[in-house]
Amino acid sequence: MDALAVELNEILRGSAADRLLSDFGKRIYFPRGIIAQSAEAKKLASKANGTIGLAYLNGRPMMLPAVKHFVTNIEPEEIVAYAPTAGNEKVRELWKKLLLKKNPSLNPNCISLPVVTPGITAGISLTAELFLNAGQTVLSADPAWDNYRLIFEDRCGGVLRGVSFFDDNGRLNIPKIKAAIQEEAKKGSVRIIFNFPNNPTGYSPRADEVKALAACIYEAAEGGADIMVICDDAYFGFFYEDDVCKESIFSLLANLHERVLAIKTDGPTKEDYSWGFRLALVTIGSKGLRPDQFNALVTKFMGAIRSSVSCSNTIGQSLFLKVYGDEETAAKEAVFFNILKERYKAVKAFTDTHKNHPRLTPMPFNSGYFMCLRCNGIDAGVLRRELLEKHGVGVIAFGTEYIRVAFASIEKEIIPEVFATIYDTALSVPISP
Assign residue 334 the CATH number of its domain. 3.90.1150.10
CA distance 433 to 431: 6
> Range of 363's domain?
329-428
Is residue 375 within 8 Å of residue 383, measured between CB atoms? yes
At 157-192, the pLDDT tens digits run 999 999 999 998 889 999 999 999 999 999 999 999
- Establish if 381 belongs to a structural domain: yes
Residues 317 and 354 both lie in one domain:
no
- Establish if 94 belongs to a structural domain: yes
Treating both helix axes as pointing N-terminal to C-terminal, what angle do 207-222 and 174-185 enclose, rounded to 10 degrees? 20
Residues 318 and 376 both lie in one domain:
no
Residue 397 scores a pLDDT above 90: yes
Residue 36 scores a pLDDT above 70: no
- Establish if 139 belongs to a structural domain: yes
Average pLDDT value for residue range 17-39: 88
Average pLDDT value for residue range 77-106: 96
Reported as a pLDDT band with limits 50, 70 and 90, residue 46 is low
Of the residues 324, 349, 369, the one at which a domain ends: 324
Whole-number pLDDT of residue 204? 98
Residues 253 and 400 both lie in one domain:
no
- Establish if 72 belongs to a structural domain: no
CA distance 398 to 69: 44
Average pLDDT value for residue range 350-366: 97
What are the residue ranges of helices labelled H in 62-148?
A: 65-70, 89-102, 120-131, 147-148
Residues 288 and 385 both lie in one domain:
no
Of the residues 267, 290, 324, the one at which a domain ends: 324
Residues 289 and 380 both lie in one domain:
no
Chain centroid, CA 314 distance in Å? 20
- CATH number for 143: 3.40.640.10
Into how many domains does the chain fold?
A: 2
Whole-number pLDDT of residue 58? 87
Average pLDDT value for residue range 76-98: 95
Residues 382 and 314 both lie in one domain:
no
Average pLDDT value for residue range 280-297: 97
Share of the chain above pLDDT 70, in %: 96
User: Picking from 31-40, 69-78, 202-211, which range would have the lowest pLDDT averaged per residue?
Assistant: 31-40
Whole-number pLDDT of residue 43? 73
CA distance 222 to 210: 18
Residue 369 scores a pLDDT above 80: yes
Reported as a pLDDT band with limits 50, 70 and 90, residue 122 is very high
DSSP helix/strand/coil, 253? helix
Comparing 83 with 40, which gets the higher pLDDT? 83
Residue 338 scores a pLDDT above 70: yes
- Establish if 75 belongs to a structural domain: no
Is residue 370 within 8 Å of residue 408, measured between CB atoms? yes
- Partners of 266 in beta bridges: 281
Residue 245 scores a pLDDT above 80: yes
- Establish if 214 belongs to a structural domain: yes
CA distance 25 to 129: 7
Residues 286 and 371 both lie in one domain:
no
User: Picking from 50-54, 108-112, 360-364, which range would have the lowest pLDDT averaged per residue?
Assistant: 50-54
At 217-232, the pLDDT tens digits run 999 999 999 999 999 9
Reported as a pLDDT band with limits 50, 70 and 90, residue 279 is very high
Residues 300 and 359 both lie in one domain:
no
Residues 370 and 411 both lie in one domain:
yes
Average pLDDT value for residue range 276-283: 95
Residue 280 scores a pLDDT above 80: yes
- Establish if 74 belongs to a structural domain: no
Reported as a pLDDT band with limits 50, 70 and 90, residue 351 is very high
- Establish if 133 belongs to a structural domain: yes
Sheet holding 280-285, edge to edge: 115-117, 280-285, 260-266, 226-232, 189-195, 137-141, 159-163
Residues 283 and 351 both lie in one domain:
no
Task: Find, among 264, 247, 288, 270, the residue nearest to 114 by Cα.
Answer: 264
CA distance 215 to 31: 40
- Partners of 61 in beta bridges: 56
Residues 319 and 334 both lie in one domain:
no
Share of the chain above pLDDT 90, in %: 89
Residue 73 scores a pLDDT above 90: no
Residue 48 scores a pLDDT above 80: no
Of the residues 324, 347, 371, the one at which a domain ends: 324
Q: Which residues contact 166 (CB under 8 A, 6 or more apart)?
A: 172, 173, 201, 203, 363, 364
Residues 400 and 373 both lie in one domain:
yes
Q: Counting Cβ atoms within 10 Å, is residue 274 exposed (0-12), middle (13-18) or buried (19+)?
A: middle
